[in-house]
């Protein structure tokens, strides 16, 4: 049985053709979960930051009184907002955060604390306690702590207050101290509970598991497969090839970071002669240029030679990604996770997110579980990096090269 991709707006991104909306998949999620809204109630009176008397000093008395009534109603609505951006889990985490702040004499936005460093102290203590108890009085992994802090930061930002995780307004990355804290938590995670590596058999099974001929989402399925192959061979983290909520250092590679060797000539992705589909078979080498990705030297190029496999070839897979971006006129700075859907009902660019990859791997693993013995529940978008590293280790590549991301250079596929 093959699977087709659901619309990018659906929370569940890969679904068997025969499953009707609302049916649970093997990983517990529903194809089309019922839309619900969750109330985010914050105790902070937003009117502390706004004053009708200051803004209406010259207004007539009657207009001023009416304005105050409407302003009070509007601010109460914002304070007790119902927003689709806030999921149920995030609301529960924010409730814990609100109780934590109240226990220490502050409202949930920390708006009465002037210094960002002081606000960060509250975030760190909350994170440490969440690590120890989570939402069910059980210890949680570092990833759960990171998501909890993300939920808190988003909840505060949605109310117009600066995210306390950031060192300054508009910053893209977390405060360095918070980043170091989360890194240490990750290092201390139980190795037995870490992401299970995806093996080459599961990668090979993707073509049989996903429907690449579907008229609506077939091309997207094929694009997801190519991203998976690239991530497996280049040992990529999800944020380096997908649209991720991660606030870490790793950023997605861009179209201009791709270099392809075609008929002996090296081309940067946006200028590569890829209009003819047959050009993919003439690619002999492909590289990605690392900029601010973790464990990389700025400007370092990591490449793979092409092999004889038309499907499971890292150079050809990266070439197919570049061709898709090229023929749809993507900008050089566009990230490689963008996919252009040409179907009339979904025309436009859509980002590929971690759930796409997670569900693809799990569907392939489900079909192959009798052969591999690997439960689909063990796999996620994070399984490709350790999976590729394990394959290199089994091939005899030096461990130090793998850890430094130098393995592809030392032993091209």
CA distance 20 to 24: 9
Q: What is the residue extent of each domain of the chain?
A: 88-191, 195-410
Q: Residue 281: pLDDT band by 50, 70, 90 thresholds? A: very high
* Selection from 30-34, 68-72, 116-120, 326-330 with the highest mean pLDDT: 326-330
Q: What is the pLDDT of residue 52?
A: 46
CA distance 203 to 361: 7
The one-character DSSP state at 195 is P
For the four alpha carbons of 392, 393, 394 and 395, in that order, the dihedral sign comes to positive
Domain 195-410 has CATH 1.10.3470: no
The one-character DSSP state at 199 is P
Higher-confidence residue of 18 and 279: namely: 279
Q: What is the DSSP string of 186-216?
A: HHHS-GGGSPPPPPHHHHHTHHHHB-TT-TT
Higher-confidence residue of 297 and 362: namely: 362
Please provide residue 122's backbone torsions phi and psi, each rounded to the nearest 5 degrees.
-65, -40
Q: What is the DSSP string of 271-284?
A: GS--SSGGGGGGEE
Question: Range with the lowest mean pLDDT among 76-80, 179-183, 261-265, 353-357?
Answer: 76-80
CA distance 251 to 291: 9
Higher-confidence residue of 232 and 36: namely: 232
Tokens of 220: 């997207």
Place of tokens 């070439």: 319
Higher-confidence residue of 201 and 50: namely: 201
Q: Is the pLDDT of residue 336 over 90?
A: yes
Q: Is the pLDDT of residue 40 over 50?
A: no
Q: Is the pLDDT of residue 85 over 60?
A: no
Q: What is the pLDDT of residue 42?
A: 36
pLDDT tens digits, 133-189: 988 888 888 888 998 999 999 889 888 888 999 998 888 889 999 999 999 998 888
Percent of the chain with pLDDT over 70: 76
Strand partners, 258: 288
Q: Are 10 and 21 in contact (CB under 8 A)?
A: no
Mean pLDDT value of segment 195-211: 93
Please provide residue 39's backbone torsions phi and psi, each rounded to the nearest 5 degrees.
-80, 125
pLDDT, averaged across the chain: 80
Q: What is the pLDDT of residue 250?
A: 72
CA distance 202 to 209: 10
Percent of the chain with pLDDT over 90: 52
pLDDT tens digits, 382-405: 999 999 988 888 888 777 776 665
């Amino acid at each position: 049985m093959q699977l087709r991709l659901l619309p990018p707006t659906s929370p569940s991104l890969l679904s068997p053709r025969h499953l009707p909306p609302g049916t649970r998949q093997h990983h517990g999620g529903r194809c089309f979960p019922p839309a619900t809204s969750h109330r985010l109630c914050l105790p902070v009176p937003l009117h502390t930051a706004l004053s009708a008397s200051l803004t209406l000093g010259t207004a007539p008395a009657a207009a001023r009184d009416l304005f105050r009534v409407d302003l009070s109603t509007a601010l109460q609505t914002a304070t007790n907002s119902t927003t689709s951006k806030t999921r149920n889990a995030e609301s529960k985490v924010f409730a814990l955060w609100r109780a934590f702040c109240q226990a220490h004499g502050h409202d949930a936005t920390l708006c009465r604390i002037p210094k960002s460093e002081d606000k960060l102290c509250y975030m760190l203590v909350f994170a440490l306690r969440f690590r120890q108890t989570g939402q069910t009085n059980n210890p949680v992994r570092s990833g759960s702590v990171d998501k909890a802090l993300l939920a808190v930061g988003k909840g505060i930002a949605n109310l117009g207050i600066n995210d306390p995780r950031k060192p300054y307004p508009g910053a893209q990355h977390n405060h360095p101290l918070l980043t170091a804290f989360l890194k240490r938590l990750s290092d201390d995670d139980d190795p037995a509970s870490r992401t299970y590596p995806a093996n080459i058999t599961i990668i090979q099974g993707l073509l049989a598991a996903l429907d690449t001929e579907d008229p609506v989402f077939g091309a997207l399925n094929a694009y997801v497969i190519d991203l998976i192959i690239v991530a497996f061979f280049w040992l990529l983290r999800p944020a380096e090839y997908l649209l991720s909520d991660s606030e870490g250092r790793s950023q997605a590679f861009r179209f201009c970071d791709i270099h392809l060797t075609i008929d002996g000539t090296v081309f940067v992705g946006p200028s590569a002669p890829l209009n003819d589909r047959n050009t993919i078979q003439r690619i002999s080498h492909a590289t990605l240029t690392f900029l601010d990705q973790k464990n990389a030297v700025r400007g370092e190029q990591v490449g793979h030679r092409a092999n004889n496999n038309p499907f499971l070839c890292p150079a050809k897979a990266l070439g197919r990604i570049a061709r898709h971006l090229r023929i749809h006129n993507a900008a050089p700075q566009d990230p490689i996770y963008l996919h252009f859907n040409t179907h009339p009902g979904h025309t436009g660019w859509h980002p590929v997110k971690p759930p796409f990859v997670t569900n693809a791997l799990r569907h392939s693993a489900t079909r192959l579980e009798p052969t591999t013995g690997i439960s689909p529940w063990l796999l996620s978008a994070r399984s490709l990096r350790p999976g590729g590293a394990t394959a290199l280790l089994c091939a005899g590549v030096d461990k130090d090269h793998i850890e430094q991301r130098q393995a592809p250079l030392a032993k091209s596929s």
